[in-house]
């Protein structure tokens, strides 16, 4: 019997496809009647298994639980993905975890690297202010928890798996991505006669249970059976605390315990707090500081949060910087291999080149959540304007080599309606890291997220409406 594919573990089965980037069937050429039936079954499956999100068309959505839901946008069939690159992404996940941890301990590196950014980016400056207070107070985070997602695109020309970014805060979709893999396995199984695709070639994806396990292990390390795990959310979500509620209801006990609404908090898991709009007033910043000052395990701590900024990604890509944080030469080589071109805007040669060939670059500010980057002619215009004004605004951005993945045909489902399109995909690999002083309790890859978007769209956010959820079919 065929064994389930698990990254890094079980031996892979023989590769069946000849073309390295094809499913063997063209989703655009599936018989229309069959396609309609598959779409229908996929929508039923989504409703039955909770592959759902809040429907912004419904007024009560997000206010009344169980009301105003719609299936999450998804691709009808999994995306072919080369097995060697999949393995590569899984194998480097624990190395990136270790790297984030090491970087988080180097307060001076974080502060120095972001010192120019701080002058022009008010949001990053506030985060650095909290970080700096912690450094002054010599605050130590003995138990550290990271729930990360490193995102990649496969560059068509060079066949290199290149990192887009590393998320250290609110890494999204561990829940829904597990479900999409199940949906695809179920469809491949049900339509085996017609599609002739092997459901076992979709890797098992347990991101949601593995992240839950990491949270629970962190809770155990905190070692107070009465303490809770607090999930920090944006407004209009239930049974959790917003930053302003934490400001109103939270206090610090003399021993450092964080108490919110009468409950001691063991672990703070941030599903908010990564965007300026999460801090509409001073209240939210007070809450963030209060939590940081406490002994609660923060996922992420302020240092982990800063270690995930684009500026730090760019600094780590400079020659001899990785060597400051990692000892193992093989590990360093593996990490470096997936770095795309990354530059500071202080590099005038690169700025000149980007003005000449803006299509080959992406300009990124220190923001999360999608929709913030600059592409194409806007790169040229922005760079020219900044040059003319001669301000320090350039410090808010980094420049990155634009990656061009292979185009594939796909059928995308959104709001119950299908659409045939040509798409590109971005693979995210989740990873959890838990450490108590010198003891590493957990450092592992935790499943994946595939996001697929129409090739004409620059950004890849699912929540932002640019992309759909997907899974991978190893070829
Ligand atoms: P965010 O933290 O907002 O998600 P990202 O760096 O992931 O920021 O950029 C958002 C999206 O922009 C990505 O999901 C991807 O679709 C696109 N993108 C980012 N960097 C590149 C790049 N170097 N080449 C091509 N597309 C990119
Ligand atoms: Mg991000
Ligand atoms: Mg991203």
As for the ipTM of the complex, it is 0.99
Question: Which ligand approaches the C-alpha of residue 451 most closely?
Answer: 1
What integer pLDDT is reported at residue 17 of this predicted model? 42
CA distances from 408 to 75, 94, 186, 274 (A): 12, 30, 22, 32
Closest CA to 297 of 178, 441, 411, 426: 441
Q: Kindly report the protein residue whose alpha carbon is nearest to atom 20 of ligand 1.
A: 164
- Residue 41: alpha-carbon gap to chain centroid: 29
Q: Half-sphere exposure of 129 toward its Cβ, with a 13 Å CA cutoff?
A: 12
- 470 in Cβ contact with 203 (< 8 Å): no
Closest CA to 142 of 65, 48, 228, 256: 256
Per-residue pLDDT of the chain (475 residues; tens, 9 = 90+): 344 455 543 333 434 444 457 888 999 999 999 999 999 999 999 999 999 998 988 888 877 888 999 999 999 999 999 999 999 999 999 999 999 999 999 999 999 999 999 999 999 999 999 999 999 999 999 999 999 999 999 999 999 999 999 999 999 999 999 999 999 999 999 999 999 999 999 999 999 999 999 999 999 999 999 999 999 998 866 557 899 999 999 999 999 999 999 999 999 999 999 999 999 999 999 999 999 999 999 999 999 999 999 999 999 999 999 999 999 999 999 999 999 999 999 999 999 999 999 999 999 999 998 889 999 999 999 999 999 999 899 999 999 999 999 999 999 999 999 999 999 999 999 999 999 999 999 999 999 999 999 987 777 667 666 799 999 999 9
CA distance 444 to 55: 34
CA distance 123 to 365: 11
Closest CA to 196 of 345, 34, 384, 5: 34
What integer pLDDT is reported at residue 460 of this predicted model? 62
Pocket test for ligand 1, best of 274, 405, 460 (most atoms within 8 A of CB): 460
What integer pLDDT is reported at residue 463 of this predicted model? 65
Which residues' Cβ are closer than 6 Å to ligand 1? Answer: 151, 164-165, 340, 362, 364, 367-370, 372-373, 400-403, 426, 459-460
What integer pLDDT is reported at residue 44 of this predicted model? 98
Closest CA to 118 of 286, 304, 309: 309
Closest CA to 450 of 462, 434, 463, 441: 462
CA distances from 52 to 47, 55, 73 (A): 7, 9, 9
What integer pLDDT is reported at residue 61 of this predicted model? 84
What integer pLDDT is reported at residue 340 of this predicted model? 98
Place of tokens 């240092």: 303
What integer pLDDT is reported at residue 237 of this predicted model? 63
- Which atom belonging to ligand 1 lies closest to the Cα atom of 405? 25
- Which atom belonging to ligand 1 lies closest to the Cα atom of 372? 3
How many Å lie between the centroid of ligand 3 and the Cα of residue 372?
Answer: 10
How many Å lie between the centroid of ligand 1 and the Cα of residue 164?
Answer: 6
Closest CA to 137 of 305, 304, 292: 292
What integer pLDDT is reported at residue 65 of this predicted model? 81
How many Å lie between the centroid of ligand 3 and the Cα of residue 166?
Answer: 8
Tell which CATH classification among 3.40.50.2300, 3.90.1210.10, 3.40.50.970, 3.30.1490.50 matches the domain 341-402. Answer: 3.30.1490.50
Grouping H, G, I as helix, E, B as strand and the rest as coil, residue 141 is coil
Pocket test for ligand 1, best of 373, 374, 424, 426 (most atoms within 8 A of CB): 373
Q: Kindly report the protein residue whose alpha carbon is nearest to atom 22 of ligand 1.
A: 402
Residue 395 buriedness (CB in 10 A; 0-12 / 13-18 / 19+): buried
How many Å lie between the centroid of ligand 3 and the Cα of residue 456?
Answer: 17
What integer pLDDT is reported at residue 459 of this predicted model? 73
Domain boundaries defined on the chain = 27-340+403-474, 341-402
Which residues are the active-site residues? Answer: 149, 165, 167, 172, 310, 364, 368-369, 451
Grouping H, G, I as helix, E, B as strand and the rest as coil, residue 155 is strand
How many Å lie between the centroid of ligand 3 and the Cα of residue 221?
Answer: 30
């Amino acid at each position: 019997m065929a064994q389930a594919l698990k990254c890094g573990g079980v031996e892979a089965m023989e590769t069946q496809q000849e073309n390295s980037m094809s499913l063997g069937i063209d989703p655009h050429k599936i018989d229309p009647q069959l396609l309609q039936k598959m779409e229908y079954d996929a929508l039923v499956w989504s409703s039955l298994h909770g592959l759902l999100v809040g429907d912004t068309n419904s007024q009560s959505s997000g206010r009344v639980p169980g009301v105003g839901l719609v299936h999450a946008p998804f691709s009808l069939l999994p995306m072919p993905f080369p097995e060697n690159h999949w393995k590569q992404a899984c194998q480097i996940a624990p190395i990136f975890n270790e790297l984030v941890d090491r970087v988080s301990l180097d307060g001076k590196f974080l502060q120095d690297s972001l010192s120019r950014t701080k002058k022009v980016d008010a949001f990053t400056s506030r985060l650095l202010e909290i970080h700096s207070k912690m450094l002054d107070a010599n605050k130590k985070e003995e138990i550290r928890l990271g729930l990360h997602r490193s995102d990649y695109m496969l560059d068509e020309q060079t066949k290199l798996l290149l990192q887009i970014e590393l998320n250290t805060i609110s890494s999204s979709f561990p829940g829904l991505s597990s479900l999409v893999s199940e949906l695809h396995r179920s469809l491949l199984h049900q339509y085996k006669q017609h599609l002739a695709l092997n459901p076992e070639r979709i890797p098992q994806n347990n991101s949601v249970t593995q992240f839950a396990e990491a949270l629970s292990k962190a809770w155990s390390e905190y070692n107070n059976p009465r303490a809770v795990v607090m999930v920090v959310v944006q407004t209009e979500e239930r049974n959790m605390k917003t930053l302003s509620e934490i400001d109103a209801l939270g206090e610090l006990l003399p021993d450092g315990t964080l108490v919110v609404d009468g409950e001691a908090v063991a672990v703070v898991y941030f599903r908010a707090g990564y965007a300026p709009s999460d801090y509409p007033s001073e209240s939210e910043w007070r809450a963030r500081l209060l939590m940081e000052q406490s002994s609660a395990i923060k996922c992420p701590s302020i240092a982990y949060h800063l270690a995930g900024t684009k500026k730090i990604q760019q600094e780590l890509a400079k020659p001899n910087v990785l060597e400051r944080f990692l000892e193992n030469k093989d590990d360093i080589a593996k990490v470096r291999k997936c770095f795309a071109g990354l530059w500071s805007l202080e590099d005038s040669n690169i700025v000149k080149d980007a003005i000449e060939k803006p299509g080959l670059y992406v300009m990124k500010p220190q923001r999360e959540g999608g929709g913030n980057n600059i592409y194409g002619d806007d790169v040229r215009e922005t760079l020219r304007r900044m040059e003319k004004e001669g301000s320090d605004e350039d410090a808010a951005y980094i420049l990155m080599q634009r990656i061009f993945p292979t185009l594939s045909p796909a059928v995308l489902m959104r709001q119950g309606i299908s659409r045939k399109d040509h798409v590109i995909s971005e693979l995210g690999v989740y990873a959890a890291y838990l450490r108590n002083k010198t003891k590493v309790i957990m450092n592992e890859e935790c499943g994946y997220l595939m996001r697929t978007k129409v090739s004409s769209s620059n950004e890849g956010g699912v929540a932002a409406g640019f992309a759909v959820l997907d899974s991978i079919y190893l070829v």
